[in-house]
Chain A
C-alpha cells in the first residue's frame, strides 16, 4: 500500500468537547494505525498516540479540529477518527474495545 498524507477539518459536536474518553479513544485508534496522526485545535497540536498531548487540546463543542494522517492507512484512520468527535457512545466503545 502506498504512503498517503491526508487532512480533514471537522467541528466537534460532542457536547463535552474533547474530554478524557475522547482522548483515550483517539489514542487507541492512533496506536492501532500504521500512520502518524496529528490532531490540531486552536491552541495546540497533539500527537495522536499521546494522551497527555491530546488532553491539552482543550477543544470545546463547536470548535474546529484538523486531523492529519501520514502513512499507508491514512485515509482509513481519519474515517475511524472523525466520528469520535461526535461523542457517540457506540463509536467510543468500538474505538476503545477494538484490539
Chain B
C-alpha cells in the first residue's frame, strides 16, 4: 500500500498549532472535516474514539512520530492524513520524545487489513532517517505532498 492509497492530500497540515494531545487530535480531525472527508456531525464522536484509544496506551511510537487511530462506523474506507508540528506535542510517547509528525488513521469497522497495510507502509518509510527528517522540516502542504509522492516512488532508502 502506498501513501497515495490512504492519505487525504487536502487535509495535510504543515503547521499544527496545538501543543497537547487532545488539541492535536482535534485539529487533525478538523482538517479532515474541512477537506470534506468527515461529516461535521461525526467529528466529536471520532475525536472521542481516538482519545479513548490513546487511554489504552500512547500511539506515539518513538522518533517523534505518532499514529493516532480508531475504527469508526461513519467511514467506508481507510481515511488518513499527515500533520507536522514545529514545536512538538507531548504525546506520552514510548521513548518520551515530543511528537512532530502525526499520521492519523480512521478505519471502517470491518477492514482491519487496510489499517495494517497502512501501518506497514508508515513504519517502513519512516525508518528512513532522511525521509523522516525531511517530513518534520516540511514547511507547506505542498512540501509534504511532494515527499509522500517521492516515498511512493521509492526515492528514499528503505
Which residues from chain A sit less than 8 Å from chain B, CB to CB?
A: 15-21, 24, 27, 43-44, 51-53, 55-61, 96
Contact = CB atoms under 8 A, between A and B. Distances in A.
> Which A-B residue pairs are the 8 nearest by beta carbons?
A58-B120, A55-B123, A52-B123, A58-B116, A16-B112, A56-B123, A17-B116, A55-B119
Interface of B: 56-57, 59, 61-63, 67, 69, 94, 112-113, 115-117, 119-120, 122-124, 126-127
| Residue picked from A52, A53, A60, A96, most chain B C-beta under 10 Å | A52
Given A16-B112, A24-B94, A55 B62 contact: no
Nearest to B62: A51
B74 to A, nearest CB: 19
Contacts of A24: 57, 61, 94
Contacts, number: 55
A17 B112 CA distance: 7
A61 B69 contact: no
B94 A21 contact: no
19 contacts: A15-B112, A17-B112, A17-B116, A19-B112, A19-B119, A20-B59, A20-B119, A21-B57, A52-B61, A52-B123, A52-B126, A53-B123, A55-B120, A58-B116, A58-B119, A59-B116, A60-B112, A60-B116, A61-B112
